[in-house]
Structure 1
């Protein structure tokens, strides 16, 4: 490259590529929540790792934010479901479909810590359950809703086999197995509730929503 003199070419000190948190979350989804690394997201966007760090301080935080946005697509209203059991069946079917579309979000649901938008969604599920059965208090609704989601997430077979020689359930059997297990959970819970055996909620680590009763005396 020539420098100095007439007709010389002077390199431009261009600004590095810019991006936004929405761009980063979009890229995280394209990379895949189960393969998420800061370097992979940076490559996807054509920016540096430092640019990603500027917007999101850690890979754990990036995973949580991306997962919360994906989980936020779970439709919670189901006016066609008249009973709490019907409501949870609908929710399980929707969540199973979401897990298939976005592998990796199950770890977020199982372990947290949860973003505020997710906590609000959990609260909405509790309200949906209580509206359908006056026997259910907040603690019982909390346990029913949380176990429905975590049970569905736990049944999702991982993409990567960490144990040589192990065989995961065939993908064509996955939805049927989830459906059977969820039905067994609902039938058993219904029998216990009918006998007046409401559960006591046990706080889950890093799940703020399980402590709402303690935070608000009016909810005891």
Structure 2
């Protein structure tokens, strides 16, 4: 066989190619974090899976870094309509992103709080610029919204099951519905049927409270404007 025919870089004689952590993370994003394995990333790079362990500790580190890169690259919503519209749009966008990758987060153990730091910093900056919040208030608001969204994405996967889609109910969710009082069951069924709307309504409740704090002139909340 010719030296240029079909051989992967990792199988060629001579020194193994040098990698960087950044190249490994980029390859993980290219593979797709919803299909991520160490073997898939190694194959993408043309090296043996064991080679990656010279640069990263394992799949959890790769997954966390890939998620961080994806979050950093996803543009924030337009902020021209004001701080509240910005946060509501960010909550919807973040929910869709986190639900897409909920399996990875739960099964691999990637820490969303740790990987979303860059995005949180940009959200806080936008709240300062568009709403006049001070940094402490902006952090509390953004953290509350993102906590609701992250929990909602995790709960949605529990409701639907690992492979379920919209309208599906896992066995655990069905068993839970059977255990609650009949008067409460229709309301919970409605939430399970459209968890995204439920999550965004919870976000709206938090933002209603922020509006009240602004109207009351609470320090750090930018006044009533």
Q: Pick the TM interval, shorter chain.
A: 0.5 to 0.7
Aligned residues: 178
The residue that corresponds to 1:189 in the other structure is 206
Residue of 154, 174, 194 corresponding to 1:177: 194
1:15 counterpart = 2:15: yes
The residue that corresponds to 2:221 in the other structure is none
Deviation of 1:181 (Å)? 1.7
**5+ residue gaps in structure 2?**
1-11, 175-192, 215-225
The residue that corresponds to 2:71 in the other structure is 71
Deviation of 1:69 (Å)? 0.7
Structure 1 pair 64–143 and aligned structure 2 pair: CA distance change class (3 A)? closer
The residue that corresponds to 1:95 in the other structure is 94
1:53 counterpart = 2:70: no
Deviations 1:16-51 (A, max 9, x none): 355443442233234442443323322333312232
The residue that corresponds to 1:144 in the other structure is 144
CA distance in 2, matches of 1:103, 1:31: 17
The TM-score, its normalising length taken from structure 1, stands at: 0.59
CA distance in 2, matches of 1:138, 1:79: 15
Residue of 95, 98, 117 corresponding to 1:119: 117
**5+ residue gaps in structure 1?**
1-11, 169-175, 198-220
CA distance in 1, matches of 2:209, 2:111: 27
- 182-191 or 59-68: which moved more? 182-191
- 15-24 or 106-115: which moved more? 106-115
Structure 1 residue ranges (4+ consecutive) displaced by more than 6 angstroms after TM superposition: none
Deviation of 1:135 (Å)? 6.6
The residue that corresponds to 2:187 in the other structure is none
Deviations 1:127-156 (A, max 9, x none): 323444457724532433423542453355
Structure 1 pair 50–114 and aligned structure 2 pair: CA distance change class (3 A)? same
Secondary structure of the equivalent of 2:114?
A: coil
